Amino acid sequence: MLREAAKRAAKRSADAFNSIAARVEKSHHQTTTTTRGFFGATSSSSSSSQAASGSQTTHMNGVKTSSSSSSSSSSGFDRVTKSSSASARGGGGGSHFKSAGWTKKYHASAGATAGAASVACVTTVAFADEAEHGLHSPQYAWPHEGVFDSYDHGSIRRGHQVYQQVCAACHSLNQICYRNLVDVAYTEEEVKAMAEEIEITDGPDDTGEMFERPGKLSDRLPSPYANEEGARYANNGAYPPDLSLITKARHDGTNYVFALLLGYRDAPAGIEIRDGLYYNPYFPGGAIAMPKMLVDGGVEYDDGTIATETQMAKDVTTFLAWAAEPEHDDRKLMGAKWMFAMALLTVTAVYQKRYIWSQLKSRRVIVDAVR
């Protein structure tokens, strides 16, 4: 809906600009035709003045001039002839200068209008891009973005609590197992107790039947729906995406998720949101099926942190960033170790090179030119 409105506005702006350009071109052509001839301009007094004074007509350089009792002077080839008579000032050079003045004013007005139309076109294109791709996410300084920075593991634990109590009702996390949480957000005993709270359908057993068993560390986090069809049926046709790689699947993923969670607001004037959708400028199209889920005090943190809306959005975003890259901290630690080892190797190689070549570079060569 927003995309179609933006396209219509852009088309109207383009049509208005083309119409102004055509009018300016037509006016300029008419003014040139009136004040200039094909080879030059001709200026003469009125017919009554010519009859009374017995004017003579001559042809000079392809320019037709009239000599009358009223003094007139020709400016030469391809110039406008000025006349001192009242009729010449009224109908000859005067009309040219008036037309030139009006033309300059019209051109200035048309230029200003064209500039405004260009600005309107640019604004309309920007609005159309925003409506199609969503508002650009603000940039935030995340504590794990540095070269040698790691995740805030306390925030990961709090974010997992937000996911369990708020997000897990609709969204799955299929790529994460319970064992991935060990020594990251919980101890091994805590994760085992957490896994045993769910029932997993396993089998078949020796009799060929499926059976239920408590969860264990190797099991993946449970999905709220058995399949995509059931998820769409429960959410009015909308499919809640899996959040395992959401920060990698979206442009500027970490900032996008954080801005989306806090971006709910009332739709501005002129934008209608149909029933079952909610306005969020950071979502492509501006209308999202997920309602606002984070409210102050919606979660009670184990460590006593105050669960404000912003705090919960920050924690669950950090948790989802970790879920997309569980190896993040190990990879950076390995890189730091590799850089340290390469530095030692470089120092050793330089010393060895200088030691080997020192005997050759320190030798003195004596040339006996006489013998």
* Residue boundaries of the structural domains of the chain: 153-252+289-325
Whether the per-residue pLDDT at 172 is higher than 80: the answer is: yes
Confidence of residue 203 (pLDDT cuts 50, 70, 90): confident
Q: Which of 85-89, 204-208, 313-317, 353-357 has the highest mean pLDDT?
A: 313-317
- The dotted CATH code for 153-252+289-325 is 1.10.760.10
Q: Which residue has the higher pLDDT, 110 or 294?
A: 294
pLDDT per residue as tens digits for the range 76-102: 333 343 334 433 344 444 444 444 554
- Residue 70: is it exposed, middle or buried by C-beta count within 10 angstroms (0-12/13-18/19+)? buried
Band of residue 366 on the pLDDT scale cut at 50, 70, 90: confident
Residue 111 has pLDDT above 90, yes or no: no
User: How does residue 369 score in pLDDT terms, banded at 50, 70 and 90?
Assistant: confident
Which value, in Å, is the radius of gyration of the alpha carbons in the chain?
41
Instruction: Report pLDDT for 368.
Output: 80
> 125-144 as b/e, with b when 16 or more CB fall inside 10 Å?
eebbebbeebbebeeeebeb
Q: Residue 258 is inside which H or E element, if any?
A: helix 253-261
pLDDT mean over 350-355:
94
Q: What is the mean pLDDT of the chain?
A: 77
